[in-house]
Amino acid sequence: MSAQINSCEVINNSDYLVLHKVSKSFGQTDAVTDLTINVSKGEFFSLLGPSGCGKTTTLRLIAGLDKPDEGIITIGEEVVADAGRWVAPEKRGIGIVFQDYALFPHMTVFKNVAFALRECGKNELKSRVTELLSLVGLDGLSGRYPHELSGGQKQRVALIRSLANSPKVILLDEPFSSLDADLRSELRAETKRIMKERGTTTILVTHDQEEAFSVSDRIGILNHGVLEQAGSPAEIYHKPKSRFVADFVGKADFIPVKLQDGKVFSPIGTFISNGLEDSLTGEAQLMVRPEDVHFEPDTEGDAVITTVSFLGASILYTLRLASGITIHAIRTSAIPIACGTRVNVTAEICHVVVLPGPG
Amino acid sequence: MLFWSVLLRFGQRLGTLPIFPFTVVLLLALPVAVVGSAALDPSLEIWSHLWQTMLPELIRNTLLLLAGVGLGTFVIGVGLAWLIAAYRFPGRSVLEWLLVLPMAVPTYIQGFVYMATFDYAGPVQSLLRQWFGGSLWFPEIRSGAGAIVVMILVLYPYVYLLAKAGFREQSGSALEAARVLGYSHAVIFFRIVLPLARPSIVAGVALAIMEALADFATVRFFNFPTLSDGVIRIWHGMMDLRAASELAGLLACFALFILLLEQGMRRRSRYFQPGGKTPGIAPVRLAGWKGWAASLACSLVVTAAFFLPVSQLAHWGWQEAGRMGADAMFVYARLAVNSLLLAGLAAAFATAVALFLSSRTRIHSSKAARLLAKLATTGYAIPGAVMAVGILLPLSALDHTINNFLEAWFGITVGLIFTGTLVGLIYAYVARFLAVTYSSIDASMNKITSNITETAKILGRSNWRIMWRIHFPLVSTGVLAGAILVFVDVMKELPITIMLRPFGYDTLAVWVWQMAAESLWAGAALPALAIVLVGLLPVIILLRAETGKITAWSRED
């Protein structure tokens, strides 16, 4: 997982795209409830969540393909949807890339891209399409039909078609999901580069946390139509505000702990939490990520390895502590340790995350 | 069942020799070959005579008819399909299937009802004269325009149905992408939706045009003779086989041209309708007067094309039933029995041949087998008059040969065993309508993957057992639907029946034609109503298939 914080990218114009208390239901089902999101100009923002969490609905609400029941949506300075106002999708100045690319099958690559450029002279049209094609390395393919393109090429055409009009916001609806793994990471990096170079505000919808981490400035985690948390990839990973977020973006164990005087007492050590108020006492849950857990074989150790899963570069071990609690630990696979070995467990936790209440 | 077991045993005797399928295909392709050879070997004398008398008018009228019907069905069919597929308005769900009903009305029935209603002596003009005086101008009904309008009214459902399916199959995301790119509904319709649905629309228009090309009765009512009418006129009027077959050859060329044009325009269709996972066009609600205007437009079409003629027929039929005696009832009963017998026999034979061909192309999935099947099913493009001529020529030659032979050697007179009986008629029906049942069966056969057939083969089953035990049970619904479609088509078919029926063998369709030609509307009404009612059968099947598809689709969603 390549979480990187782009602290150098100072974002001035905050609140370029705003969803304020937006709700949308389809019949009995609430797709999105009371959703508030602020995205800055030029920001790459991802909506992450399991299928059916409302992320695609959110995207369609921004695009104007669906109308919100309640709430306000603004793009740039303009209110595009509220109780009295409604701007049609064709007037919002946005670009969208669908999962199936939605290329027009009866048009060549050139015509597909040119379709997006309306008020344009013939010569200018030609030069702009050519420029866009070379942006994604598709020079020379302008005469091909969509069925003559590979998946990656189709995705690139869809991307430049959505960019052609220099839209205020680009919406990407799982655009990488039907590509194979190598191509996916290549296209992700390319898409991110293009968006950053052009300073385009981008919203990506995905269910793949690795994808969200690798491209986003910020991520919003959606669950059952509610925004659980929004923040930088590192914040989301290291400081999840709920068990759902912690579980969704990576492997995490929650072990019962006692709180006292701002300290966390756990079976694998005592930790000091900065954010924790001293007054908070009693039972709680401590988040432990597998990479925070260390263990050494020790015949006298009070924990035991119960399963060993070989993952390639690393091995994921399941450990049963003396108290009967199981936690996971990850170690390099160079020196494997057998199942059933007795071990001593310690933990080194930089970001202490404690959720209130017993498990 | 007995029929099948006989066929099965017969097949087992033949073993795996490809003689049988070849014979079937040859028999089906024979009429086309006969007419084709007549066209390839033109007699200068006949053509110069034809050219001097009627040919220029026939060709001009045919071209006008095809252009008019093509354009009219295109505009009305596509327009209605777009309204239904893309908008929601009052009564849409009912109108969606009501708009299919005119399919049940054959062109000649629509033709005579319209003519009786709107002609100079008809109720509409009489009433208008009563109100506004005798000098009132009214468009001439007995004209090309009249024939074209009448045909559009019953043939537009072909375009409507296929265009609607074409619109529904389109991926919704392509349309949404176009909207987001800043285009209005109207622009998207002309630049994305219409081009994408082109293959379906072309197929629909081609079907409508082929029907118009085959029609001879309507154009004769409207005094607008076309090539089909010409063939039958020469046939009946002059008994000139040679000239009729030459003209039939020209008619066949027209049909072939339409077929090639259609195939050419659909070539890329494979790529055009991706039918993506995303649901198709999401209908937009038409609010206020726009919504009511849409439902009014649809209602007007259905009323003009179906309810008006059917209620007129019912009115005449009621009058006729009131004064009908026992002998008239007997005549009607005989007509019905004749029609049902013919339609039933033709449906049974066509189904048997189609099943055989379809299964055969799967067992021997060779190019040749598929080509044979394609050749055998081109009959649908052949106008009835051409088919009749193409069958009559060889059969009557055969009849006379057999008769002369038997008389000369054994002194027995058997008469005309093919052309004097129902054999020639059934043969022509099967050759003409095989494609209808074949495509229905073949569509359900497509559900049988080649793996199923191969598994059966590996288990060591004979081809006949695979057909009998595996393929047939899996396609029973398609078989039934195909048989019903042929049944109804034969009930409606006029040119073939008129030309090939044994002397004095009247059917419902023939009776309607004869009565209407004599302007005896009331006498034609009851048999015409019967044909329309039977014609509703395939419409119902079609609707059930469509709603079935829709429920399956929404369940999947």
Q: What is the pLDDT of residues A165-206, one digit of tens each?
A: 889 999 999 988 888 888 888 999 999 999 999 999 999 999
The residue-averaged pLDDT of A3-14 equals 42
Residue A1: per-residue pLDDT? 39
Alpha-carbon span B408 to B392, nearest angstrom:
24
Distance of CA B83 to the CA centre of its chain: 25
Q: How far is B452 from chain A (nearest CA, A)?
A: 30
Alpha-carbon span B210 to B208, nearest angstrom:
5
Residue B377: per-residue pLDDT? 73
Q: Do B274 and A89 touch (CB under 8 A)?
A: no
β-strand pairing of A218-223 with A282-288: unpaired
Average pLDDT, chain A: 88
What digits encode the pLDDT tens for the residues A221-266? 999 999 999 999 999 999 999 999 999 999 999 999 988 877 888 8
Q: Helices (H), strands (E): how many in chain B?
A: 29, 2
Q: How far is A288 from chain B (nearest CA, A)?
A: 39
In one-letter notation, the amino acid at residue B486 is V
pLDDT above 90: residue B245: no
| Residues of chain A neighbouring B177 (CB-CB closer than 8 A) | 96, 98, 102, 158, 161-162
Higher pLDDT: A311 or B539? It is A311
Q: How far is A29 from chain B (nearest CA, A)?
A: 15
Residue to substitute from A60, A100, A107, A154, interface B, most B β-carbons within 10 A: A100
- Most trustworthy range by pLDDT among A5-14, B231-240, B248-257, B345-354: B345-354
| Residues of chain A neighbouring B271 (CB-CB closer than 8 A) | 105-106, 145-147
- Cα dihedral across residues B209, B244, B237, B391: positive or negative: negative
Residue to substitute from A91, A92, A104, A132, interface B, most B β-carbons within 10 A: A104
**pLDDT-based confidence at residue A6 (cuts at 50, 70, 90):** very low
Q: Do A92 and B191 touch (CB under 8 A)?
A: no
Q: Do B195 and A106 touch (CB under 8 A)?
A: yes
Alpha-carbon span B194 to B446, nearest angstrom:
28
Give Cα separations from A145 to A161, A296, B272 (angstroms).
14, 60, 10
Of A90, A103, A104, the CB nearest to B180: A90
- Cβ neighbour number for residue B279 with a 10 Å cutoff: 14
Alpha-carbon span B74 to B208, nearest angstrom:
9
Name every residue in A having a CB less than 8 A away from some CB of B.
Answer: 63-65, 88-92, 94-96, 98-100, 102-106, 115-116, 118, 145-147, 158, 161-162, 165
Q: What is the DSSP string of B72-117?
A: HHHHHHHHHHHHHHHEE-TTHHHHHHHTTGGGGS-HHHHHHHHHHH
Alpha-carbon span A279 to B345, nearest angstrom:
94
Of A98, A115, A162, the CB nearest to B173: A98
**Poorest-pLDDT segment among B52-56, B136-140, B339-343:** B136-140
Residue B21: per-residue pLDDT? 66
| Residues of chain A neighbouring B179 (CB-CB closer than 8 A) | 65, 88-90
What digits encode the pLDDT tens for the residues B186-199? 888 888 888 888 88
Q: How far is A321 from chain B (nearest CA, A)?
A: 46
β-strand pairing of A94-97 with A169-173: parallel
pLDDT above 70: residue B460: no
% of chain B with per-residue pLDDT over 90? 26
% of chain B with per-residue pLDDT over 70? 88
Alpha-carbon span A235 to B518, nearest angstrom:
91
pLDDT above 50: residue B327: yes
The interface pTM score, or ipTM, of the predicted complex is 0.72
Q: All domains of chain B, ordered by start, with CATH?
A: 1-41+324-517 (1.10.3720.10), 61-315 (1.10.3720.10)
Chains A, B: CB pairs < 8 Å: 72
Higher pLDDT: B240 or B481? It is B481
What values do phi and psi take at B122, rounded to 5? -75, 170
Of B177, B184, B271, the CB nearest to A105: B271
Q: Do A92 and B180 touch (CB under 8 A)?
A: yes
Q: Do A65 and B181 touch (CB under 8 A)?
A: no
For chain A, the structural domain boundaries read 17-93+167-248, 253-356
Q: Do B173 and A116 touch (CB under 8 A)?
A: no
Q: Do A100 and B195 touch (CB under 8 A)?
A: no
**Poorest-pLDDT segment among B200-209, B282-291, B368-377:** B368-377
Q: What is the DSSP string of B138-165?
A: ---SSSHHHHHHHHHHHHHHHHHHHHHH
**pLDDT-based confidence at residue A37 (cuts at 50, 70, 90):** very high
Half-sphere exposure of A136 (CA within 13 A, CB side): 30
**Poorest-pLDDT segment among A42-46, A346-350, B79-83:** A346-350
Q: By three-state DSSP, how is residue B316 classified?
A: helix
Q: Do B271 and A146 touch (CB under 8 A)?
A: yes
pLDDT above 90: residue A291: yes
The residue-averaged pLDDT of B17-41 equals 73
Gyration radius (Cα) of chain A, Å: 24
Residue B18: per-residue pLDDT? 58
Give Cα separations from A92 to A60, A88, A132, B194, B335 (angstroms).
12, 7, 22, 25, 67
Residue A3: per-residue pLDDT? 40
Alpha-carbon span A138 to A128, nearest angstrom:
13
pLDDT above 90: residue A273: no
Q: Do B173 and A91 touch (CB under 8 A)?
A: no
Please name the fold of domain A253-356.
OB fold (Dihydrolipoamide Acetyltransferase, E2P) (2.40.50)
| Residues of chain B neighbouring A90 (CB-CB closer than 8 A) | 179-184
| Residues of chain A neighbouring B181 (CB-CB closer than 8 A) | 90, 95, 115-116, 161-162, 165
User: For chain A, what is the HEC assignment?
Assistant: CCCCCCCCCCCCCCCCEEEEEEEEEECCEEEEEEEEEEECCCCEEEEECCCCCCHHHHHHHHHCCCCCCEEEEEECCEEEECCCCECCHHHCCEEEECCCCCCCCCCCHHHHHHHHCCCCCHHHHHHHHHHHHHHCCCCCCCCCCHHHCCHHHHHHHHHHHHHCCCCCEEEEECCCCCCCHHHHHHHHHHHHHHHHHHCCEEEEEECCHHHHHHHCCEEEEEECCEEEEEECHHHHHHCCCCHHHHHHCCCCEEEEEEEECCEEEECCEEEECCCCCCCCCEEEEEEECHHHEEEEECCCCCEEEEEEEECCCEEEEEEECCCCCEEEEEEECCCCCCCCCEEEEEECCCCCCEEECCC
What is the b/e burial string over B296-312, where b = at least 16 CB atoms within 10 angstroms of the residue's CB?
eebbebbeebbebbbeb
**pLDDT-based confidence at residue A59 (cuts at 50, 70, 90):** very high
Name every residue in B having a CB less than 8 A away from some CB of A.
Answer: 171, 173-174, 176-184, 191-192, 195-196, 198, 268, 271-274, 276-278
Q: How far is A139 from chain B (nearest CA, A)?
A: 23
The residue-averaged pLDDT of B336-362 equals 87
Alpha-carbon span B382 to B263, nearest angstrom:
15
The residue-averaged pLDDT of A68-86 equals 90
Alpha-carbon span A234 to A6, nearest angstrom:
11
Those residues whose C-beta lies under 8 Å from the C-beta of residue B11, and which sit 6 or more positions away, are B20, B464
Alpha-carbon span B161 to A73, nearest angstrom:
41
Residue to substitute from B180, B267, B281, B554, interface A, most A β-carbons within 10 A: B180
Q: At what angle do helices B107-118 and B521-556 cross, to 10 degrees?
A: 130
Those residues whose C-beta lies under 8 Å from the C-beta of residue B458, and which sit 6 or more positions away, are none
The residue-averaged pLDDT of A260-283 equals 77
| CA-wise closest residue to B240 among B505, B45, B513 | B45
Q: Do A116 and B192 touch (CB under 8 A)?
A: no
**Poorest-pLDDT segment among A103-112, B47-56, B145-154:** B47-56
Asked if residue A238 lies in contact with residue A207, where contact means CB atoms within 8 angstroms, the answer is no
Pick the CATH number of A17-93+167-248 from 3.40.50.720, 3.10.580.10, 3.90.850.10, 3.40.50.300: 3.40.50.300
Those residues whose C-beta lies under 8 Å from the C-beta of residue A84, and which sit 6 or more positions away, are none
Average pLDDT, chain B: 82
Higher pLDDT: A259 or B64? It is B64
Q: How far is A33 from chain B (nearest CA, A)?
A: 23
Q: How far is A225 from chain B (nearest CA, A)?
A: 20
